[in-house]
Amino acid sequence: MSLYLDHLATLQRQAESALSRTGHDALVIASGIEKYAFLDDRPYLFQANPHFKHWLPLTNHPHSWIAVRPGRKPLVVYYQPHDYWHVPPEAPSGEWVEAVELLVIREPEEASKALAGIVTPHTAVIAEPDAALPGLLPNNPERLLNLLHWARGAKTPYELEQMRAAQRRAVPGHVAARAAFLRGESEAGIHRAYLLATGHTDRDLPYTNIVGLNEHAAVLHYQYQDASPPAEVRSFLIDAGAQVNGYASDITRTWVAPGHDEFAALVAAMEREQLALVDEVREGVDYRGIHLSTHRRVARVLREAGLVKMSEEAMVAEGVTKPFFPHGIGHLLGLQVHDVGGFMASEDGGVADKPEGHRYLRLTRPLQAGMVVTIEPGLYFIPMLLAELRASPQASHVDWAAVERLSCYGGIRIEDDVACRSGGEPPENLTRDAFAGIGAA
């Protein structure tokens, strides 16, 4: 059996179990609809319902549906309009076609008739409200969604293959971006080099690239791209991914221009700690513990660099690491860049709380084999957070001259996508493997 067909069988089993446990007779999922800007005829970028693309490698197919019924092949209602204003979806093709019952429709409203014999008062319909059609009203039952979201945390072998491919698509972009940085190009020029190397456009990236030179690296989600390079290029942070069949990669690297040895040493120290954090990804490990471990490791870097003259234990206990590392260590990754289910206490729902005082952590579950998580420690020089530290009782322990000297570099983030393996085996570093595959660091 192929990886995809095995994946489909796994989803069928999970769906049938969830339907039985929640008292539903079928599951109907909408791909979603195109949305338009207010008072305009310009559509926003279409984003497929992740539940839909979990079953099918169809990411640009609005107005389509899939119906899952116990003991039967999924029924796919495939929207392929007659259209000369735009390029319509191609005729259905690929391995998935033989694994489903297929019905092609020309108008969105035809989906109501196509699914009329399946939808009953006991059918779960997963969709946004605006996807509703007569007889197809989204109800998004919470208990069923909890079961599906919990199961989605562990990836099938097919999903892992798509995520490896998404790494291999992104890595040449990172190599090209680094080369453009060293050539002295602008943020916009670096971004264009990334797109060219990955074959992506802005429309189909899994998230908006973060491309920050110098101080811009201190803005965690820096959203602009200057068209002109700065007078002096010192440092560069790029957070950029790719996607394959709806599955994302999410990679961050920080680079230093030649001759900036003090900051380069800081980057090297963070690289050392990042690799050690990757090695903490093990089945059964509480991800919250990896986040807290990151603060201890950031404290080590701060102490070794002479930036803060306190013990590592005291730095963490008194919150001195937080201004330098204000975000979480990472998140689940998959069909969504920040994949669902990260805070679930169990398959029945509930919330696994974040560690007190760490509100930006996006994953609080114990790790399971098959989970893919990001490991992305950072060390930043963020003016507003440093101002708060300067006003605190711990300010006297900080070498402010060194902080001022390093602030012009913005900061450091290094991010790999890591698959958890079973039985205490070392994790699979999807990102480093992809870099190694093309002979890059």
What is the residue type of 127? Answer: A
pLDDT digits (tens, 9 = 90+) for 235-277: 999 999 999 999 999 999 999 999 999 999 999 999 999 999 9
Domain match, 103 and 195 both: no
Domain match, 140 and 195 both: no
Please give the pLDDT value at position 441.
73
pLDDT digits (tens, 9 = 90+) for 174-184: 999 999 999 99
Domain match, 141 and 17 both: yes
Domain match, 240 and 103 both: no
Domain match, 236 and 187 both: yes
Q: Tell whether the model's pLDDT for residue 1 goes beyond 70.
A: no
HEC string of the chain equals CCHHHHHHHHHHHHHHHHHHHHCCCEEEEECCCCCECCCCCCECCCCCCHHHHHHCCCCCCCCCEEEECCCCCCEEEEECCCCCCCCCCCCCCCHHHHHCEEEEECCCCHHHHHHCCCCCCCEEEECCHHHCECCECCCCCHHHHHHHHHHHCCCCHHHHHHHHHHHHHHHHHHHHHHHHHHCCCCHHHHHHHHHHHHCCCCCCCCCCCEEEEHHHHHCCCCCCCCCCCCCCCCEEEEEECCEECCEECCEEEEEECCCCHHHHHHHHHHHHHHHHHHCCCCCCCEHHHHHHHHHHHHHHHHHHCCCECCCHHHHHHCCCCCCCCCCCCCCECCCCCCCCCCCEEECCEEECCCCCCCCCCCCCCECCCCCEEEECCEEECCHHHHHHHHCCHHHHHECHHHHHHHHCCCEEECEEEEECCCCCCCCEEHHHHHHHHCCCC
Q: Tell whether the model's pLDDT for residue 64 goes beyond 70.
A: yes
CA-to-CA distance for 416 and 427, rounded, in angstroms? Answer: 11
Domain match, 270 and 137 both: no
Please give the pLDDT value at position 37.
96
Report the share of the chain in percent with pLDDT over 90.
99
Residue range 217-245: average pLDDT? Answer: 98
Q: Tell whether the model's pLDDT for residue 19 goes beyond 90.
A: yes
Residue range 24-39: average pLDDT? Answer: 97
Domain match, 349 and 237 both: yes
> Among 93, 118, 152, which residue terminates a domain?
152
Domain match, 297 and 357 both: yes
Domain match, 116 and 222 both: no
pLDDT digits (tens, 9 = 90+) for 7-18: 999 999 999 999
> Among 152, 185, 207, which residue terminates a domain?
152
Q: Provide the number of structural domains found in the chain.
A: 2
- Summary mean pLDDT of the chain: 97
pTM of the model: 0.97
> Residue 200 belongs to what domain range?
157-437
Domain match, 173 and 315 both: yes
Domain match, 268 and 378 both: yes
> Among 91, 126, 152, which residue terminates a domain?
152
Domain match, 73 and 190 both: no
